[in-house]
Amino acid sequence: MASYQKLTPRSEDYSKWYNELVVKADLAEQSAVRGCMVIKPYGYAIWESIQAELDRRFKEKGVKNAYFPLLIPKSFLSREAEHVEGFAKECAVVTHHRLMNDPNGKGVVVDPDAKLEEELIIRPTSETIIWSTYKNWISSYRDLPILCNQWCNVMRWEMRTRLFLRTAEFLWQEGHTAHATKEEAEDFAKQMLDVYSDFVTDVMAIPVIKGVKSPNERFAGALNTYCIEAMMQDGKALQAGTSHFLGQNFAKSFDVQFLNNENKYEYVWATSWGVSTRLMGALIMTHSDDNGLVLPPHLAPIQVVIVPIYKKEEQLAELLAKLNPIADQLKALGIRVKVDADSKYTPGYKFADYELKGVPVRLAMGGRDLENNTIEIARRDTQSKETISLDGIVEVVKNLLEEIQKNLLKKALDFRIANTREVNSYEEFKEEVKKGGFILAHWDGTPETEQKIKDETKATIRCIPSIELPGHRTDEPGVCMVTGKPSAGRVIFALSY
């Protein structure tokens, strides 16, 4: 059960607040293995909602789910030069296939005779195993496009881990598509970014900026990485999703060619795109407050909790006679409702606990309400509550859920706008970066300059925005704040997760 202790306030220690919230809201906890988390039922329910909604949207694009193996032959990774360079440092490697009793002691040890001929790596991403497979699936332009996605776990041996934000093992989906033309592949990568952007905005109520990654931040092996970037409450940026145009890099590395309608061989064009359990971190750090989690209604496992306040069993029966029909009507509208008549906890305890868990709307009814034909309705996002007439309560709740959804998005967007600013000199930039938020500045487009800025300020280019930002023009030319060389437009700099 939840602890009585309050969360560390965000203003005191943001990082501590986050860590405590994840555990106390019952989302996830540490496991015995470094960097690997246990996602608890309440947290997993949220992830399942994310999965279900995204999966539906993928399928609308014609994407089909499949499954590729966890283990990848070590040699596959090195087929694509940049890819191996990007991932080699953080791969877990399987070297043996058997254990044996320790001949001089207790327990078991690795059997030295069971060494694998070729070592296997645990997938940090699946491009290589998938492209080695696609080679067998593709021979003609009639086989294209191939649009596959898999929901799975991957492992990257991280040095410094945090629940949901950066774990050694994490859950994600990875889509991998094969196309006959460059234009089609590039277009598909952008379409999938739109899917992410719409989902994160409409369902998670997190405003995002669509854009393109600078070369330094590009996915290892991609020609272009499109991304959505969100701003957390502490002003740091978080990459919420990426979609890559892979060109023909993997097709060439794995020799995947098709015969076009002129009977000529061509290499296949590829994309890959993914979002991970990191979205859970984005969700938490966008909306939640010092009292706990705040969930957007579209994603909340429980959207409405109903708490009867009673003194005697007879009174509970009387209250439930009123409350159960309300719950049924809400359920009939597809609203996820929980009636909590458990006598084990007092109403006050329940109020605090459901706030910690982020339930968007709470209804409470007691003796006074019975007399007056009223009910108390409280919303999690603003922490406000009022007592209203029972008449039309179902409609009121339904509308309130939508209002909360909108309000959360607006609040987050207002915050982002308030913390986005233009900077023109590098001196000013150095000062402004420390304050957090997004900084729009001119950059000469070279990796060297980007690296210099990163080394000196820790800020990186989050993206070259491809959408209009409220109150700012980013597409006007200027001069690089560092080198004075020409710049095509402003890019977004920030400290990031």
Which spans of this chain sit near RNA (rule: CB under 7 A)?
1-6, 15-16, 19, 30, 32-35, 86, 89-90, 156, 158-163, 165-168, 170, 217, 219-220, 239, 242, 276-278, 291, 309-312, 343, 345-349, 351-353, 355-356, 362, 364-370, 376, 378, 385, 387, 458, 496-497
Closest CA to 97 of 84, 82, 81, 110: 110
Shortest separation between residue 341's beta carbon and RNA, angstroms? 10
Q: Which residues pair with 339 in a beta bridge?
A: 306
Closest to RNA by CB, 146 or 193? 193
- Closest approach of Cβ 352 to RNA, in Å? 3
* In the complex, minimum distance from the CB of residue 354 to RNA, in angstroms, rounded to a whole number: 8
Nearer to RNA, 81 or 418 (CB): 81
Element (H, E) at 224: strand 224-231
Contact at 8 Å (CB) between 324 and 307? no
Question: Whole-angstrom Cα distance, residue 374 to residue 365?
Answer: 8
Tell which phi-psi region holds residue 436, choosing left (phi > 0), alpha (psi between -120 and 50) or beta: left
- Which residue, 45 or 352, is less far from RNA as judged by CB? 352
In angstroms, the CA 470 to CA 472 distance is 6
Please say which residue, 242 or 487, places its beta carbon nearer to RNA: 242
CA dist., res. 41 & res. 45, Å (int): 6
Q: Enter the DSSP assignment of 166.
A: B
The secondary element (H helix, E strand) that includes residue 1 is none
Q: Which is nearer to RNA, 256 or 400 (CB)?
A: 400
Nearer to RNA, 144 or 227 (CB): 227
Q: 10 Å Cβ neighbour count for 36?
A: 15
| Shortest reach from residue 465's CB to RNA, in Å | 18
Residue whose CB is less far from RNA, 145 or 292? 292
Distance CA 149, CA 60 (A): 13
What is the C-alpha separation between 44 and 320, in angstroms, rounded? 30
Question: Which residue's CB is nearer to RNA, number 367 or number 445?
Answer: 367
Beta carbon of residue 326, minimum distance to RNA (angstroms, whole number): 14
Q: What is the DSSP letter of 298?
A: T
Nearest distance from residue 266's CB to RNA, in Å?
29
* Minimum distance, C-beta of residue 495 to RNA, in the bound complex (Å): 9
Of the candidates 110, 112, 128, the one whose C-alpha atom is nearest the C-alpha of residue 120 is 128
CB of 232: closest distance to RNA in angstroms?
A: 12
d(CA 22, CA 473): 37
DSSP notation for 52-65: HHHHHHHHHTT-EE
Give the DSSP letter string of 96-158: ES-EEE-TTSSSEEE-GGGEEEEEEEE-SS-HHHHHHHHHHH-SBGGG--EEEEEEEEEE---
Among 451, 444, 453, smallest CA distance to 486 is for: 444
The residues, ordered by sequence, that sit 6+ positions from 264 with a Cβ below 8 Å of its Cβ are none
- Angle at CA 396, nearest 5°, toward 395 and 402? 95
> What is the smallest separation between the CB atom of 47 and RNA, expressed in angstroms?
13
Q: Considering beta carbons, is residue 156 or 442 the nearer one to RNA?
A: 156
Shortest distance in whole angstroms from residue 44 CB to RNA: 16
Least distance from RNA to the Cβ atom of residue 373, Å: 11
Copy the structure tokens of residue 429: 């930039």
Beta bridge partners of 338: 305
CB nearer to RNA: pick between 287 and 380? 380
